[in-house]
Amino acid sequence: MDGNIRVPPVHWFEHRKKQKFLGPNCLCPLLQTTNEEPPSTEAQIVLKESGDHIGEYIAECPNGRCEYFGQLPVAVFPDK
DSSP structure string for 10-63: GGHHHHHHHHT----B-SGGGG---SSPPPP-BPEEEE--SSTTTT-EEEE-SS
In this prediction the pTM is 0.59
The closest alpha carbon to 41, from 49, 31, 50, belongs to: 31
Residue 58's DSSP bridge partners are: 46, 71
Mean pLDDT by 10-residue block, N- to C-terminus, for the chain (80 residues)? 71 81 80 74 85 85 82 53
User: What is the reported pLDDT for 73?
Assistant: 59
Q: What is the pLDDT of residue 1?
A: 47
| Nearest-angstrom CA–CA distance, 78 and 14 | 18
Report pLDDT for 76.
47
pLDDT of 11 reads 82
